[in-house]
């Protein structure tokens, strides 16, 4: 009887310890995501990389357009001489890609063709970082400004560091009011994704669950 009581007590304390550890970890991750989202660390670099978001049959979604507008602003400010657009497309996109649509948008906004690189094969953040690392190695790019949604940047910074990239994070401008539930889902997505990345886990169901709720990829 005494042994059983001790086992139950040990399990309870173990559960409490795990709960406290988990709460502490996710509190830290949440704070880091918010802190990164609220800071624009852009500074002179070799290129600006725009992470992909949805496009609508050749037209950038509001999220992608906001990311591209931020890249154009940084380019016009002389922060970097080149812009890299990232992102592929699906069958439903009729041959259009996020990277290609991004390139066309940049051209329409005064960025010279020779100063744009469009990557059009990647389908998620991890693939986009891998493609960016290849481009950086081929072009001998030492420092990059990465542009995306603010809540996306903390995870991007981790992936870029692991890929050997030196990056400065720069969030796009906010787009009006976001529903509280959607905002909470985006934060939860990034918290879980970052945790899985740190644990070297690839959980594809999480991306499928979030598809359509966030354009951060």
Inside any domain, residue 10: no
Inside any domain, residue 98: yes
Q: What local confidence, expressed as pLDDT, does residue 21 receive?
A: 87
- Separation CA 51–CA 186 (nearest Å): 16
Inside any domain, residue 187: yes
Tokens of 167: 């990056």
Q: What local confidence, expressed as pLDDT, does residue 182 receive?
A: 79
Q: What value does the mean pLDDT of the chain take?
A: 88
Judge contact between 35 and 171, C-beta under 8 A: no
Domain with 44 in it: what CATH number? 3.40.50.620
- Separation CA 82–CA 187 (nearest Å): 30
Inside any domain, residue 5: no
Q: 3-class SS at 167? A: strand
Inside any domain, residue 110: yes
Q: How confident is the model at residue 170 (pLDDT cuts 50, 70, 90)?
A: very high
The residue among 150, 59, 64 whose CA lies nearest residue 96 is 59
Read off the pLDDT of residues 38-95 as tens digits, 9 standing for 90 and up. Answer: 999 999 999 999 999 999 988 999 999 999 999 999 999 999 999 999 999 865 656 6
Inside any domain, residue 216: no
Inside any domain, residue 3: no
Q: What local confidence, expressed as pLDDT, does residue 207 receive?
A: 52
Q: What local confidence, expressed as pLDDT, does residue 1 receive?
A: 56
Q: What local confidence, expressed as pLDDT, does residue 194 receive?
A: 87
* Residue range(s) defining the domain that contains residue 53: 37-210
Inside any domain, residue 2: no
- Separation CA 189–CA 52 (nearest Å): 17
- Give the mean model confidence (pLDDT) for residues 122-142: 96
Report the number of distinct structural domains present in the chain.
1
Other beta carbons within 10 Å of 210: 18
Q: How confident is the model at residue 213 (pLDDT cuts 50, 70, 90)?
A: very low
Read off the pLDDT of residues 151-160 as tens digits, 9 standing for 90 and up. Answer: 999 999 999 9
pTM assigned to the model: 0.84
**CB-based contacts of 63, cutoff 8 Å, min separation 6:** 53, 54, 149, 172, 175, 215, 216
């Amino acid at each position: 009887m005494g042994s059983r009581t001790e086992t139950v007590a040990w399990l309870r304390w173990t559960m409490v310890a795990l709960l406290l550890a988990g709460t502490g970890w996710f509190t830290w991750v949440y704070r880091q995501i918010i802190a990164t989202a609220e800071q624009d660390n852009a500074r002179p670099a070799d290129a600006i990389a725009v992470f992909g978001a949805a496009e609508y049959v050749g037209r950038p979604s509001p999220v992608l357009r906001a990311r591209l507008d931020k890249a154009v602003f940084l380019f016009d400010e002389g922060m970097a001489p080149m812009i890299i657009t990232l992102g592929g497309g699906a069958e439903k996109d009729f041959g259009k890609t996020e990277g290609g649509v991004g390139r066309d948008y940049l051209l329409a906004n005064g960025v010279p063709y020779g100063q744009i690189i469009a990557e059009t094969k990647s389908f998620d953040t991890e693939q986009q970082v891998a493609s960016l690392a290849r481009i950086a190695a081929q072009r001998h790019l030492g420092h990059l400004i990465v542009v995306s949604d603010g809540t996306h940047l903390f995870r991007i910074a981790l992936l870029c560091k692991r890929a050997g990239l030196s990056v400065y994070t720069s969030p796009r401008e906010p787009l009006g009011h976001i529903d509280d539930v959607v905002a909470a889902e985006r934060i939860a997505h990034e918290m879980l994704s970052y945790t899985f990345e740190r644990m070297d886990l690839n959980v594809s169901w999480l991306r499928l669950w979030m598809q359509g709720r966030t354009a951060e990829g």
